[in-house]
């Protein structure tokens, strides 16, 4: 597997588990925006940990390699998000509408940070 694939699948799995917790516990207690704002630092910390891990494991020395890894990871993450939407009975339009909400935009901003994180780290020698 490539660094981008492993990075995406690892963070997506963590995000899926956090998403269940968010929807069942946090959203009823504090609303969508509060729940997203509470979840975001946790998922970004996990993303940073795994970005560093895979940059090191795959020795992604050039910035271009790390940028491509992040871009591929973002594309795969979006695909997985759309598939999950379809599996839950949603449509592409409903997925896009969610991104246009305030909490959806915050989530998308977090996903863009996820995509950029591999460029932040350089592999150890």
Domain segments of the chain: what residues? Answer: 3-118
pLDDT digits (tens, 9 = 90+) for 43-73: 999 999 999 999 999 999 999 999 999 999 9
Asked if the model's pLDDT at residue 103 lies above 80, the reply is yes
pLDDT digits (tens, 9 = 90+) for 9-23: 999 999 999 999 999
Q: How many CA atoms lie within 13 A of 91 on its CB side?
A: 3
Asked if residue 27 lies in contact with residue 103, where contact means CB atoms within 8 angstroms, the answer is no
| Residues 105, 108, 110: CA angle, nearest 5 degrees | 115
Mean pLDDT calculated for residue range 102-125: 96
Asked if residue 19 lies in contact with residue 111, where contact means CB atoms within 8 angstroms, the answer is no
Cα distance between residue 75 and residue 91, in whole Å: 18
**93, burial (CB in 10 Å: exposed 0-12, middle 13-18, buried 19+):** exposed
């Amino acid at each position: 597997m490539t660094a981008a694939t492993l990075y995406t699948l690892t963070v997506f799995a963590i995000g899926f588990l956090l998403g269940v917790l968010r929807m069942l516990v946090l959203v009823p207690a504090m609303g969508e925006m509060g729940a997203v704002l509470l979840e975001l630092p946790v998922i970004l910390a996990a993303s940073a940990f795994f970005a560093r891990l895979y940059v090191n494991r795959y020795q992604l020395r050039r910035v271009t390699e790390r940028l491509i890894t992040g871009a591929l990871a973002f594309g795969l993450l979006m695909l997985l998000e759309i598939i999950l939407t379809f599996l839950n009975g949603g449509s592409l339009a409903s997925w896009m509408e969610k991104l246009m909400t305030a909490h959806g935009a915050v989530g998308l901003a977090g996903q863009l940070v996820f995509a950029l994180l591999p460029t932040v780290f350089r592999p150890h020698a």
